RNA sequence: GGCGCCGUGGCCAAGUGGCUAAGGCAUCGGAUUGCAAAUCCGACAUCGGCGGUUCGAAUCCGCCCGGCGCCUCCA
């Protein structure tokens, strides 16, 4: 596991045998979450799943910062309480986590619920001479900590930052606030120094100590938190306890909105981009908005849009996309890239459908394989299974190497190919379907499921966005009708009609696949209805023109059976559906 | 200016000293299909440049070119 503190990978060891404590810096809940807030939770969700898979007893903490200048400002802006702002955004945060399949968090401490611990922590630092009170504030004296700067690798002397707070009240410019006295009207808590609130960094030291102990295993967060937040945390905690705070500091890379200049490390003219930005800013005189969305993913680029993004793309796709890249890398985030990841995911979903065609069962009901089952499996003479086990080994090796989810996903694709090939080679959708083969197929898929569960994917069928469900009621029967009409055409070798139907559905986003057992369709939503109807009406008109009334009446009668009425008028054929129009 | 990260096929992305450089998307052939789709098979890179260390480097070192981040609130 890579350690930001040592700047290299280290063998994994734990403070207590068999136990792992993880603390991830969560959001300051002054606004809706954006996609960048999801990176840490998703990767740490995987890390926990993997450690649990490896039989560790894991406690994972994600804190919520619910007291802060920004929350206070927001509350004043909106004329509601700080608590109300927090509650609203916590709910939003939790919804987003759930949509991305992040459900491994054990503790969600909130700063406002840990005031006693925070105040005690500050007091301890004052008592030990590492902090001083000044006009109601309390500051950490950076100069007293000889190790200060070791995490972010900077010297106190070289620092230009002020460390926040009012310079006049501080002994050193880099000293940072542990406690801030409240201005009139601000939320405050009693303390030995003043009515006030905690500084930003102290809550993490206090809450991690409370739940995980003075020394724990993994502390995570975004790369942007290394300085000053984590540098200050480590200073507070280690001065307070005279013991290491954590064994591994793990920082995830940040998301970037795509820029016209292209890839992260690639070529591109920054000068050109800067020029254009300058020009745009002049023209629009609107410096707050970056027209090309280049640069770091910012609040303005993503705020408020996460729920919509999830509804559009689906939580599993976003999760899968994030896990394709190693967690320490910068990721260019944009919807075309998400779409591409989605294409890859579709292949897995098709394999699961294939399993259902072969067995009549649901992939999501299949029991995953386990390490124990693999050890005891005597059927390695089956070459497909042997290949699958090789993939499994590579997958686990990748995860063992600093949680390399990107490499692991590559093996998942390889595994899917092996399984598809097994189905092909043995004609499982035709004459080769035997109990014996089905059992082998299940074993292969159980391995896929075992590994996917580590990444937290393929745990349940992806939910389609809720919007379209009402209109979908008619889509199914309508498609059955289209399929039966097309089947009739195909049997009578009327391929022109069959192809017209299939080609006509394509622009509506509906695909048809002819299988041995019948035709399958996918895609489409309530928006597709008018298009399908138009197609059927045209088909019927063609039949009528040819005086093929058998076909035209069949279409009309079948539609009537599912509640859609056709009326031939002089201007054309009109249709109406009961209730759903 | 200080501290860091990165540059692998058209795009995304594993690989950090040693078999023919994973995998995905795209593209092009082939099998299959009434035709498609799906699936499978095959094709497609010598790793930003130069120099060095080494029996051997995409992988280590140096220089150069290019991109990005942090140093202020930030996941």
Identify the burial level of A533 via C-beta atoms within 10 angstroms of its C-beta, where 0-12 means exposed, 13-18 middle and 19 or more buried: buried
Q: Averaging pLDDT over each range in A5-14, A233-242, A275-284, which range is the top one?
A: A233-242
Residue A259 has pLDDT above 50, yes or no: no
Q: What is the ipTM of this complex?
A: 0.95
Q: What per-residue confidence (pLDDT) applies to A477? A: 86
Burial class (CB in 10 A: 0-12, 13-18, 19+), A13: exposed
Q: What is the average per-residue pLDDT within A436-462?
A: 96
Question: Integer distance in angstroms from CA A462 to C1' B11?
Answer: 27
Pick out residues 241-270 of chain A having their CB under 7 A from any atom of nucleic acid strand B: 252, 254-256, 259, 261-270
How confident is residue A381, by pLDDT bands cut at 50, 70 and 90?
A: low
Strand pairing category for A131-134 and A137-140: antiparallel
Q: Which nucleotides of B are covered by protein (CB under 7 A)?
A: 1-8, 11-16, 22-26, 33-41, 66-75
Return the axis-axis angle of helices A435-455 and A405-425, rounded to nearest 10°.
170
Identify nearest nucleotide to residue A165 by CA to C1′ distance. Answer: B72
Q: Is the CB of A39 under 7 A from strand B?
A: yes
pLDDT of residue A270: 31
**Does pLDDT of A554 surpass 90?**
no
Point out the least confidently predicted range of A185-199, A511-525, A557-571: A557-571
Our CA dihedral for A415, A416, A419, A424, rounded to 10 degrees, sits at: -140
CA of A429 to C1' of B20 (A): 35
pTM of the entire predicted model: 0.88
Determine whether the distance from the CB of A302 to the nearest atom of strand B is below 7 Å: no
pLDDT in tens, A82-135: 999 999 999 999 999 999 999 999 999 999 999 999 999 999 999 999 999 999
Spatial CA neighbour of A581 closest among A535, A526, A531, A505:
A526
Judged by average pLDDT, the poorest of A365-379, A438-452, A457-471 is: A457-471
Determine the average pLDDT of the residues in A332-345: 93
Residue A36 has pLDDT above 70, yes or no: yes
Contact between A556 and A487 (Cβ < 8 Å): no
Which token pair is A505? 């559905």
């Amino acid at each position: 596991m890579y350690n930001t503190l040592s700047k290299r990978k280290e063998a994994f060891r734990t403070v207590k045998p068999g136990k792992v404590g993880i603390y991830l810096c969560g959001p300051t809940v002054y606004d809706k979450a954006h996609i960048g807030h999801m990176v840490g939770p998703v990767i740490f969700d995987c890390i926990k799943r993997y450690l649990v898979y490896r039989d560790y007893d894991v406690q994972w903490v994600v804190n919520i910062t619910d007291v802060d200048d920004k929350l206070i400002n927001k509350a004043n802006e909106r004329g509601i309480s700080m608590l109300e702002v927090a509650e609203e955004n916590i709910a939003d945060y939790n919804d987003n986590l759930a949509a991305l399949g992040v459900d491994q968090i054990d503790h969600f401490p909130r700063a406002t619920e840990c005031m006693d611990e925070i105040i005690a922590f500050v007091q301890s630092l004052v008592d030990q001479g590492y902090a001083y009170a000044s006009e109601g504030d309390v500051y950490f004296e950076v100069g007293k900590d000889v190790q200060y700067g070791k995490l972010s690798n900077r010297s106190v002397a070289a620092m230009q930052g002020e460390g926040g707070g009012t310079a006049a009240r501080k002994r050193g410019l880099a000293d940072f606030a542990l406690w801030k006295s409240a201005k009139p009207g601000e939320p405050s808590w009693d303390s030995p120094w003043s009515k006030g609130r905690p500084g930003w960094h102290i809550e993490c030291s206090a809450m991690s100590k409370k739940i995980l102990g003075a020394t724990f295993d993994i502390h995570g967060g975004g790369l942007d938190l290394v300085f000053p937040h984590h540098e200050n945390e480590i200073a507070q905690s280690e001065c307070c306890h005279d013991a290491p705070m954590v064994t591994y500091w793990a920082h995830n890379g940040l998301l970037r909105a795509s820029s016209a200049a292209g890839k992260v490390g690639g070529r591109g003219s920054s000068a050109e981009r800067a020029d254009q930005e300058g020009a745009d800013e002049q023209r629009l005189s609107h410096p707050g908005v970056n027209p090309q969305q280049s640069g770091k993913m910012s609040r303005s680029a993503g705020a408020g849009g996460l729920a919509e993004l999830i509804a559009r793309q689906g939580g599993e796709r976003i999760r899968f996309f994030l896990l394709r890249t190693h967690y320490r890398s910068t990721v260019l985030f944009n919807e075309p890239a998400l779409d591409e990841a989605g294409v890859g995911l579709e292949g897995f979903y098709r394999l699961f459908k294939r399993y259902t065609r072969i067995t009549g069962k649901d992939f999501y009901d299949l029991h995953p394989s386990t390490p124990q089952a693999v050890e005891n499996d005597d059927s390695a003479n089956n070459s497909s299974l042997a290949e699958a086990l090789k993939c499994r080994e590579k997958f686990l090796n990748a995860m063992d190497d600093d949680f390399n989810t990107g490499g692991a996903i590559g093996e998942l694709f390889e595994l899917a190919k092996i399984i598809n090939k097994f189905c092909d080679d043995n004609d499982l959708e035709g004459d080769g379907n035997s109990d014996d083969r089905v059992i082998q197929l299940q074993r292969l898929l159980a391995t896929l499921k075992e590994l996917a569960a580590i990444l937290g994917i393929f745990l349940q069928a992806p939910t389609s966005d809720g919007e379209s469900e009402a209109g979908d009621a008619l889509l199914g029967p309508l498609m059955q009708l289209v399929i039966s009409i097309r089947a009739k055409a195909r049997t009578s070798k009327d391929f022109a009609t069959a192809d017209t139907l299939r080609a006509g559905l394509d622009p509506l986003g509906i695909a048809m696949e002819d299988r041995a057992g019948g035709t399958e369709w996918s895609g489409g939503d309530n928006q597709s209805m008018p298009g399908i109807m138009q197609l059927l009406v045209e088909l019927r008109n063609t039949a009528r023109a040819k005086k093929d009334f058998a076909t035209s009446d069949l279409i009309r009668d079948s539609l009537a059976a599912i509640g859609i009425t056709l009326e031939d008028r002089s201007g054309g054929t009109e249709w109406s559906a009961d209730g759903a129009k």
